Structure 1
Amino acid sequence: MAVSVTLPALGESVTEGTVTRWLKAEGERVEADEPLLEVSTDKVDTEIPAPAAGILSAIKVAEDETVEVGAELALIDDGTGAPAAAPAAEAPAAEAPTAEPQPEPAAAPAPEAPAAAPAGGAEGTPGAGTGSTGASGTEVLLPALGESVTEGTVTRWLKEVGEEVSADEPLLEVSTDKVDTEIPAPASGTLLEIVVGEDETAEVGAKLAVIGAKGAAPAAAPAPAAPAPAAEPAPAPAPAPAPAAAAPAPAPAPAPAPAPAPAAAPAPVTPAPAAGEGEGAYVTPLVRKLAAENGVDLATVKGTGVGGRIRKQDVLAAAEAAKAAAPAPAAAPAAAAKAPVIEASPLRGQTVKMPRIRKAIGDNMMKALHGQAQLTSVVEVDITAIMRMRNKAKDAFAQREGVKLSPMPFFVKAAVQALKAHPVINARINEDEGTITYFDTENVGIAVDSEKGLMTPVIKDAGDLNIAGIARKTADLAGKVRANKITPDELSGATFTISNTGSRGALFDTVIVPPNQVGILGIGATVKRPVVINHPDLGETIAVRDMTYLALSYDHRLVDGADAARYLTTVKQFLEAAEFETEIGL
């Protein structure tokens, strides 16, 4: 029975997503909940898991295609439809008895018999990947992925047609304008058909794929019989090229093998020359980063994915092979310890496809920058007392709370307390209504750097949390972002944002105010340097202090320079007072 893989709801207001990469090719086995494809939205990229185990029989949404939430992305044959699939493959032979007594000599009648078969048997033997097959099994549907999300885009199939998939195994990845996520397989079996190909967009509830009984022939099997002179090699698409060479009649069989999915047609036929295609094939940022970290030249890697695409497994295998072949050079970097070697990035000289999440980030930044009157004010803060306090408490704090005590929670605490006194910074301009909303809660977005780009999960009601609560929530959200487990709802609803630009050494930054907000606080790097201070006994003196810059970017349509200065001064006073002993257990 075919299980439909659909684009799930990926978050509030997310109505569609784009398929960025299929992790499985048609004909491959997929397990339930196994990542099947990657989907991108204007908010985040995510993996969609297979809803059932089976063979990926058809990919309905190709890579780079956009579909609405609920749209059908592919079909998985869970094996329960095997009896129906087998007779279908034999149908052409039954309808053309004249071809049976002379399978080899009658080369001319052979193509005619299968040609007629699809016309009369199209209902029972649809081609995989066409988006309108009759593969029977469990349908994989695009689930609801969040409030107001109506569509999603298949970014990657994690299983190919013909592969086995287990229930709840990630089957595909779907992207919306809020988040990327994996869609699990609803049942175990064989992925018979992928209805929605990578990069195709489907609506919520749409059939994505079909999963049949384990071992069932994928819906793609009958398709090769249409153009091929002989239908015998069709039940086994992958090994078909081998027997095809034995007789002149079946020789063309390798050509129709890719017919299951027009968008990825060459995939089943080109495993050998994949290396040649890999150089020009789309490589995801994750794979490129992995290759750079392991020193793998992507030009030397043979991709095993659809169309010769290089997958994470290919890079890891190449890295392991390189280590086994030349373990000795590993000691070389030791000599250069005093002068770190800066290696050239593999991206040099390349032109690659722009990830959807980068497009989304870019669109949001341009919208924010050109839709507001933005400028930035900066103050200098002495956080020596906080750093000393943190050093004393960090070990006991980590044991008690289960998370590290970084300086970040202190800044968040000071920022949200100051927002309560300066609500003009925690507000929103409603242009259509001509009104201003001053929020009575502090929902703080925390900018997090991830492999896929900048994401901003939100600490809801941050003004009600103490240092420990902020530390736990920050660690939890950052961990979800980096593990690609963040949900759309956790990325929405911010009334103010904080960006720790100093985490990579920047002294300060003129950060851009996000849409629908009027302020964002940038935290610079903490630097020890000599500063003139007022000592209670020595008066004015020079001392080495821990100093940092706080930069507030704001929308001048609502916030004046004096408002920004007053807010920053309040934050500065709160931090320099450093009255956090009780909250951190001192």
Structure 2
Amino acid sequence: MGKFTFRLPDIGEGIAEAEIVAWHVQVGDRVEEDARVADMMTDKATVEMESPVSGVVVEVAGEVGDVVAIGSPLVVIETDGEGEASEAAPAPVAAPAPKAEVVEQRIEAETPEPPAPATPEPFVSSVVETPTAPPPIPAASPSPARVSTSLDTNGKGKGSAKVLASPAVRQRAHDLGIDLSEVRPSEEGRIRHADLDQFLAYSAAGGYRAAGAERGDEVIKVIGLRRRIAENMAASKRNIPHFSYVEECDVTALEAMREQLNAHRGDKPKLTMLPLLITAFCRLLPQFPMLNARYDDEAGVVTRYGAVHMGMAAQTPAGLMVPVIRNAQSLNLWQLAREIARLAEAARNGTAKSEELSGSTLTVTSLGPLGGVATTPVINRPEVAIIGPNRIIERPMFVPDGMGGERIEKRKLMNISISCDHRVVDGWDAASFVQAVKKLIEAPVLLLAD
């Protein structure tokens, strides 16, 4: 028998290292030739590593989240027969460790010992737990000791003195899940609404809890795509002086045209708002080349691109990814819709290729119905701009009535946000671009004109 050291191969041009995001073997496992042993993430994609030999795993290079340099040992395998040895002696590798898991910690609440009362209490306190009670309000002082009791129909806590309160106060206390025998009356021995307010503000009502199951703390290791997102966003905000500009657009006519196109689409893919907006952007970018660009700040060079390689921010189970629509300017509405759907699905199920996740020259990011009134998106470095369409809302607007006056009409409105790198893009240019987009999508027939 012999040992074979499987070293991390060169998995892409310019890639110097990769992060371990998943192990499919552990020490002691038997692995067959071409079986998957690990998933490695580079700056561009996740790559599956397959064993070149059959045998038993005797060493692995660290745990999930560790970074391995190209050419360094990844797995050491004890092979069958005489065995195959790698050309170089195996370098020391870390002892095996389990995959990072979510660590849950539960913190038990401790009830302080109640202080001895200065005078005898005229009642026995109680707690009525309810699943629909509002959330607890911090107490100003430790809560008194409690004994769980129930009230009879006369408003008495069993074993307590009679509780005096109006029917309205009793109903409110019942709705809030508060035992009136626990509330101290402020005057005349009668509990009033102000006393309930005081109880809510200052009493630590142990049975007065929000609905929902208790959860413990979670400790989650930041690895893989989430680490890449964190690093890229931090670098973008650290290095790029952002500025944002937002404009409101009337998309009533654009939405009507989209509905008409979908009604007669046949076997074509359904149109969302995104293909229409990308078409508008691509028509206007030749007039605003400073936006379809990338800035190499280390070399001090801005490259303005003729083709539009549109990055499309897509939410996936693993985190935010940006698949790229190549040569978006040459695609019609239906082709854009088909490519958007294909790339979004590939990003979600993890089948997107490395070349489909890099090389964008401008990015569009949209949260669809969750888009909010306005956003200030973070630039996808080294690009110099990112565009964020927001949610469509309906509002009454003054519109021309065709006779020199105005009338009020319900219209569909959408804000378009743009964030730019102020080192490369001036505010005037960004505002002029968005105003041109507004003019184009408010007369959407121009999108289909040659």
Q: Indicate whether the TM-score tops 0.5.
A: yes
| 1:450-529 matches, cutoff 5 A | 450-529=316-395
1:541 Cα shift? Answer: 2.1
| 1:354-373 matches, cutoff 5 A | 354-373=222-241
1:395 Cα shift? Answer: 5.8
Contact 1:42/1:357 (CA < 8 Å) preserved in 2?
Answer: no
1:350 matched to 2:218? The reply is yes
1:478 Cα shift? Answer: 1.4
Contact 1:61/1:73 (CA < 8 Å) preserved in 2?
Answer: yes
SS in 2 for 1:440: coil
Bigger RCO (CA 8 Å, 6+ sep): 1
Partner of 1:82: 80
1:459-483 residue CA offsets vs partner (Å, 9 max, x unmatched): 1221121112222222222122111
CA distance in 2, matches of 1:562, 1:434: 22
1:32 Cα shift? Answer: 6.0
CA distance in 1, matches of 2:18, 2:344: 23
Distance 1:505 1:556, change over 3 A: closer
TM-score (norm 1): 0.52
Distance 1:404 1:69, change over 3 A: farther
Distance 1:10 1:539, change over 3 A: farther
CA distance in 1, matches of 2:51, 2:329: 40
Distance 1:18 1:421, change over 3 A: same
Partner of 1:263: 96
1:145-164 residue CA offsets vs partner (Å, 9 max, x unmatched): xxxxxxxxxxxxxxxxxxxx
| 1:180-579 matches, cutoff 5 A | 262-264=95-97, 282-283=100-101, 349-394=217-262, 396-397=264-265, 399-401=266-268, 403-536=269-402, 539-579=405-445
Distance 1:35 1:365, change over 3 A: same
Partner of 1:39: 40
| 1:146-161 matches, cutoff 5 A | none
SS in 1 for 2:346: helix
Instruction: Name the aligned partner's letter for residue 417 of structure 2.
Output: A
1:376 Cα shift? Answer: 0.4
1:548 Cα shift? Answer: 1.1
Distance 1:437 1:49, change over 3 A: closer
Tell me how large the CA RMSD over aligned residues is.
3.6
TM-score (norm 2): 0.66
CA distance in 1, matches of 2:218, 2:328: 43
Instruction: Give ranges in structure 1 of 5+ residues lacking alignment.
Output: 85-134, 142-194, 201-260, 268-280, 289-296, 300-340
Instruction: Name the aligned partner's letter for residue 271 of structure 2.
Output: L
Contact 1:443/1:493 (CA < 8 Å) preserved in 2?
Answer: yes
Contact 1:12/1:489 (CA < 8 Å) preserved in 2?
Answer: no
CA distance in 1, matches of 2:35, 2:441: 47
Contact 1:41/1:357 (CA < 8 Å) preserved in 2?
Answer: no
Contact 2:441/2:447 (CA < 8 Å) preserved in 1?
Answer: no
* Alignment: residue pair count: 343
1:375 Cα shift? Answer: 0.8
Instruction: Name the aligned partner's letter for residue 463 of structure 1.
Output: Q
Contact 2:105/2:218 (CA < 8 Å) preserved in 1?
Answer: no
1:72 Cα shift? Answer: 3.5
Instruction: Name the aligned partner's letter for residue 48 of structure 1.
Output: E
Distance 1:10 1:391, change over 3 A: farther
CA distance in 1, matches of 2:14, 2:213: 40
Contact 2:388/2:418 (CA < 8 Å) preserved in 1?
Answer: yes
SS in 2 for 1:20: strand
Identify, as 1 or 2, the structure richer in helix: 1
1:498-534 residue CA offsets vs partner (Å, 9 max, x unmatched): 1113453422210112222221101111222322223
SS in 2 for 1:283: coil
Instruction: Name the aligned partner's letter for residue 442 of structure 1.
Output: V
Distance 1:73 1:554, change over 3 A: same
CA distance in 2, matches of 1:383, 1:504: 17
CA distance in 1, matches of 2:211, 2:314: 25
Contact 1:368/1:512 (CA < 8 Å) preserved in 2?
Answer: yes
Contact 1:11/1:488 (CA < 8 Å) preserved in 2?
Answer: no
Contact 1:498/1:520 (CA < 8 Å) preserved in 2?
Answer: yes
Partner of 1:136: 84
Partner of 1:67: 68
Percent identity, please: 28
SS in 2 for 1:400: coil
Contact 1:35/1:47 (CA < 8 Å) preserved in 2?
Answer: no
CA distance in 1, matches of 2:267, 2:13: 35
Instruction: Name the aligned partner's letter for residue 50 of structure 1.
Output: E
CA distance in 2, matches of 1:83, 1:456: 47
Contact 1:43/1:357 (CA < 8 Å) preserved in 2?
Answer: no
Contact 2:375/2:388 (CA < 8 Å) preserved in 1?
Answer: yes
1:43 Cα shift? Answer: 4.8
1:537 Cα shift? Answer: 6.0
Which one is further off, 440-449 or 60-69?
A: 60-69
Instruction: Give ranges in structure 2 of 5+ residues lacking alignment.
Output: 107-209
Distance 1:436 1:48, change over 3 A: closer
SS in 1 for 2:233: helix
SS in 2 for 1:558: coil
CA distance in 2, matches of 1:555, 1:504: 26
Distance 1:76 1:263, change over 3 A: closer
Contact 1:525/1:549 (CA < 8 Å) preserved in 2?
Answer: yes
CA distance in 1, matches of 2:214, 2:352: 29
1:156-178 residue CA offsets vs partner (Å, 9 max, x unmatched): xxxxxxxxxxxxxxxxxxxxxxx
| 1:117-136 matches, cutoff 5 A | 135-136=83-84
